[in-house]
Amino acid sequence: MSSERLGVAVVGAGYWGPNLIRNFRGSVDWDLVAVCDLDTDRARGVVGERSGVEITASLDEVLARDDVDAVAIATPARTHRAIATAALQAGKHVLVEKPLADSVAAGREMVDLARSQGLVLMADHTYCYTPVVQRIAELVAEGALGEILFVDSVRINLGLVQPDVDVFWDLAPHDLSVLDRILPDGLRPLGVAAQGADPVGAGKACVGYLSLPLPGGALAHVHVNWLSPTKIRQMVIGGSERTLVWDDLNPQQRLSVFDRGVDLVQQSVDSADRRTASIAYRLGDTWAPALPEREALSEMVAELARSIRERRAPQTDGGAGLRVLSVLEAAATSLRARGALVDVMSTDQPELEIIR
């Protein structure tokens, strides 16, 4: 495919749709040709009265257009499968707001259809396209942290309590998608244990904790909370060589790398045949990697265009969306089992071979 602009339609002009609309309009890769929303007045208000972008409430009209190469879906998760299926069947590439779907089964149907049609299906895991997460992934891949020993992630603030999903489905996809991006083998935990609470009587978990044992003995922990009066967005990644701290609310120093940790110096067997270990604490320098300033969504829409033109799967493809969904479903099962460790459904898919 040539480097000419691609045509895109955004479905949904509510909470997230305006962000997609703004970034597609500002991209050198895309022409925003249509916005579809049942509330056409709302969509027109987002796009602007004098814009040449078509405003419609009909998805069929959008999918019938020859100048629409891709459809970006920014609607509730329960609607993703139906809209994505219609778009893929119409020969359109698809970008889907997180989470990919409202169940693994629905997400798998979307992935299988995209593969059979030779089309791109991309999950909008926005944080994966931030400069800080891309730099973290590079540091992990090059071995700067050594072996990953633990990950602690905290995402808490006051509200918004969602009407249709609990705090896990609302907030945890961000952290889980980041783990999928930065862990050497992606998000493939050995199990999931979830604890959740509804202390305000909202009818769903408003505070939650996920524990994810990882291959090799590492452990990831995710804390999500709608009820905290303070806002925290922080992830600590401990390695055998260095520890990394990502503080997303500190624009002056979002990323810090600590040359500090614990070393197992010696292991011996004493006279009573008991193994003993000598521990040393390493206290070294701290440094802050330089990070470029660019909007994550801008990079995300550029990656969508590249994946279509290069006929390859995007960085956050349907498989990445399925891995996040599998953890969310396992978390729901664990909640019903009072926090028991439950297995995670395998979502491994064959590589995408042909993108038309």
Q: Does the pLDDT of residue 143 top 60, yes or no?
A: yes
pLDDT-derived band at 277 (thresholds 50, 70, 90) equals: low
Q: Does the pLDDT of residue 64 top 70, yes or no?
A: yes
* Rounded (5°) CA angle 54-57-59: 90
**Cross-strand bridge partners of residue 221:** 152, 211
Whole-Å CA distances, 174 to 43, 153, 345, 347 = 26, 10, 20, 19
What's the residue count for the chain?
A: 356
Of 93, 86, 101, nearest in space to 72 by CA: 93
Q: Does the pLDDT of residue 355 top 60, yes or no?
A: no
Q: Does the pLDDT of residue 288 top 90, yes or no?
A: yes
Helix ranges restricted to H, the chain: 17-25, 40-47, 59-63, 80-89, 104-117, 131-141, 167-182, 296-309, 318-336
Calculate mean pLDDT across residues 89-105. 97
pLDDT at 356: 47
**Mean of the per-residue pLDDT values for the chain?**
92
pLDDT-derived band at 101 (thresholds 50, 70, 90) equals: very high
pLDDT digits (tens, 9 = 90+) for 172-216: 999 999 999 999 999 999 999 999 999 999 999 999 999 999 999
Beta carbons of 207 and 227 less than 8 angstroms apart: yes
Q: Please state whether beta strands 70-73 and 207-213 pair in parallel, antiparallel, or not at all (unpaired).
A: unpaired
Give the residue range(s) of CATH 3.40.50.720 domains in the chain. 6-126+296-315
Which CATH number applies to 6-126+296-315: 1.20.1250.20, 3.40.50.11440, 2.60.120.10, 3.40.50.720? 3.40.50.720
What H or E segment, with its residue span, contains residue 233?
Answer: strand 227-239
pLDDT at 162: 87
Q: Please state whether beta strands 243-247 and 255-269 pair in parallel, antiparallel, or not at all (unpaired).
A: antiparallel
pLDDT-derived band at 354 (thresholds 50, 70, 90) equals: very low
Q: Does the pLDDT of residue 302 top 70, yes or no?
A: yes
Give the residue range(s) of CATH 3.30.360.10 domains in the chain. 128-287
> Alpha-carbon distance 286 to 292, whole Å?
20
Calculate mean pLDDT across residues 155-174. 93
pLDDT-derived band at 352 (thresholds 50, 70, 90) equals: very low
pLDDT at 272: 55
Q: Does the pLDDT of residue 255 top 70, yes or no?
A: yes
Q: Does the pLDDT of residue 350 top 60, yes or no?
A: no
66-80, 146-160, 173-187, 269-283: which has the minimum mean pLDDT?
A: 269-283
> Alpha-carbon distance 93 to 249, whole Å?
34
Calculate mean pLDDT across residues 319-341. 96
Q: Does the pLDDT of residue 148 top 70, yes or no?
A: yes
pLDDT-derived band at 318 (thresholds 50, 70, 90) equals: very high
> Alpha-carbon distance 182 to 7, whole Å?
31
> Alpha-carbon distance 25 to 158, whole Å?
32
pLDDT at 280: 76
13-22, 93-102, 244-253, 340-349: which has the minimum mean pLDDT?
A: 340-349
- 3 state SS of 192: strand
Provide the edge-to-edge strand list for the sheet that holds 255-269. Answer: 193-197, 207-213, 219-225, 148-158, 227-239, 243-247, 255-269, 275-287
pLDDT at 262: 75
16: which residues sit within 8 A by CB, 6+ positions away? 74, 97
Higher pLDDT, 271 or 155: 155
The alpha carbon of residue 187 and the mean position of all alpha carbons in its chain are separated, in whole angstroms, by: 11
Reply yes or no: is the peptide bond before residue 18 cis, omega within 30 of 0: no
pLDDT digits (tens, 9 = 90+) for 9-56: 999 999 999 999 999 999 999 999 999 999 999 999 999 987 889 999
The hierarchical CATH code for the domain 128-287 is 3.30.360.10
What H or E segment, with its residue span, contains residue 264?
Answer: strand 255-269
Q: Which two tokens stand for residue 341?
A: 């460790």
